[in-house]
Structure 1
Amino acid sequence: MSKSIAGPEIERLIQLLAKVPGLGPRSARRAALHLIKKKEQLFEPLTAAMAEAVEKVRVCSVCGNVDTIDPCTICIDPRRDAATLIVVEDVADLWALERAAAMNVRYHVLGGTLSPLDGIGPDDLNISGLVSRVAEGGISEIILAVNATVEGQTTAHYITDQMADMGVKVTRLAHGVPVGGELDYLDEGTLAAALKSRTAFD
């Protein structure tokens, strides 16, 4: 059992920071110490920003993105091509594609991938929402921008089967996305090339 080096409030801060992806116990301690040292310049504004985010941030009821309005800014933007829908696993993937700025379209966030070993089936993802959006009409192409993993490809095949009789073109990312790669870790140029070189999913 590790020895406590600070008061319970600081220890709790460290423990919570350690739960953030990319931060282990050591990084969490360094981050906590930095925040404490920069209390007025960083810690207090960060606390206020987080409190405001907790109060105002919500999940878009249409696409699954996170924003301060519902429907989100992307869904209500009239300048976007409403006939093309990019399907992603997670909001982080949506943000990555937006940074690439390759296409001015709309999105659909699944909330994960099919994974029978982990007990994640179609009902655990936002696939029914996708089917409903396509059934409403007006969508001519779905771009499956899922990660090039076994689970991602399994999910892509399942969605393709769901779309078989709905009269919509289904494509997937092509060149630039390595097998086993995750969208959030790719650079903008690679993502842009992958979108422009998309191919039919078979």
Structure 2
Amino acid sequence: MDTPLDRLTEQFRRLPGIGIKTARKLAYYMVQEPQEKVNEFIHALQEAKQKMCFCSQCFNLSSQDPCPICSDRKRDRSMICVVETPQDVLAVERSGNYGGLYHVLQGALSPLDGIGADNLRIKELLQRLENTEIKEVIIATDPDVEGEATALYLARLLKPVPIRVTRIARGLPAGGDLEYADEATLAGAVANRLEM
């Protein structure tokens, strides 16, 4: 039976990270909300879709172009942190330890999914490096297979360019226990150890 509630559930299920149980829970919740709250939700969704765009310089999501980060003259313009998604920009910004610029690739290399270098914003990164005073590129892709492949690809691509290319360190989370860490995380922690 295909009811309006089933169709709404299916729309929620299409969202990343939402399984059928959560989708159903969200659908029931929205149907039971007062019409005013549903209208606010719909308006917020429509407004975000209409007013958000990709920054023409770094390809981060923003409500203005260039984005506030690219527009901020106080940012360190000698370094660019290369990330996969706009969510990654938010994560690095929350750390409070980075004050440079960003470049959002809009994904990672994944040949099995048909995502090659031409599907990412790599060409635009190279153009930015030609026209600026960038001294360092920090590669901050995810530590998964696709992220590592992307990092290696970028490192090789940037090798002939007279710019320092670094990779973010990886290892154990603060407050984590060694006994619960997986092998890859422990290997990264040992490989990226620091002097004391």
Q: Indicate whether the TM-score tops 0.5.
A: yes
SS in 2 for 1:129: helix
1:124 is matched with: 119
**Whole-angstrom distance in 2 between the partners of 1:128 and 1:92:** 21
Larger RCO (alpha carbons 8 Å, 6+ apart)? 1
Matched, 1:164 2:159: yes
Aligned to 2:14: 19
Counterpart amino acid of residue 150 in structure 2: T
Moved over 6 A (4+): none
Q: Is the 8 A contact 1:171 1:198 kept in 2?
A: no
Instruction: Please tell me whether the aligned partners of residues 115 and 151 of structure 1 are also in contact (alpha carbons under 8 angstroms).
Output: yes
2:81 corresponds in structure 1 to 86
One-letter amino acid of the counterpart of residue 43, structure 2: A
Name 2:181's counterpart in structure 1.
Answer: none
Describe the superposition over 1:67-92 as per-residue Cα deviations: whole angstroms up to 9, x where unpaired. Answer: 11111111111111111110011112
Mark the runs of 5 or more structure 1 residues left unpaired by the alignment.
Answer: 179-193
- Aligned-residue RMSD, C-alpha: 2.2
- Structure 2: distance between partners of 1:122 and 1:133: 16
Q: Aligned-pair distance for 1:38?
A: 1.9
Which residue of 2 is the match for residue 48 of structure 1? 43
Q: Does 1:69 align with 2:56?
A: no
- Cα deviations by residue, 1:166-202 (Å, 9 ceiling, x for unpaired): 2110011114368xxxxxxxxxxxxxxx9xx899xxx
- The structure-2 alpha-carbon separation of the partners of 1:69 and 1:198, relative to structure 1 and needing over 3 Å to count, comes to farther
How far apart, in 1, do the equivalents of 2:74 and 2:114 lie?
Answer: 39
Identity of aligned residues (%): 38
Q: Name the residue aligned to 1:36.
A: 31
Which residue among 140, 143, 150 is the counterpart of 2:145? 150
Deviation at 1:41, TM superposition (A): 5.6
Q: Which amino acid aligns with 1:144?
A: I
3-state SS of the aligned residue for 1:86? strand
CA deviation after TM superposition for structure 1 residue 42, in Å: 3.1
Structure 2's unaligned 5+ residue stretches are: 174-188
State the aligned residue count. Answer: 177
Q: Relative to 1, partners in 2 of residues 1:72 and 1:168: Cα closer, same or farther, differing over 3 Å?
A: same
| 1:134 equivalenced with 2:129 (yes/no) | yes
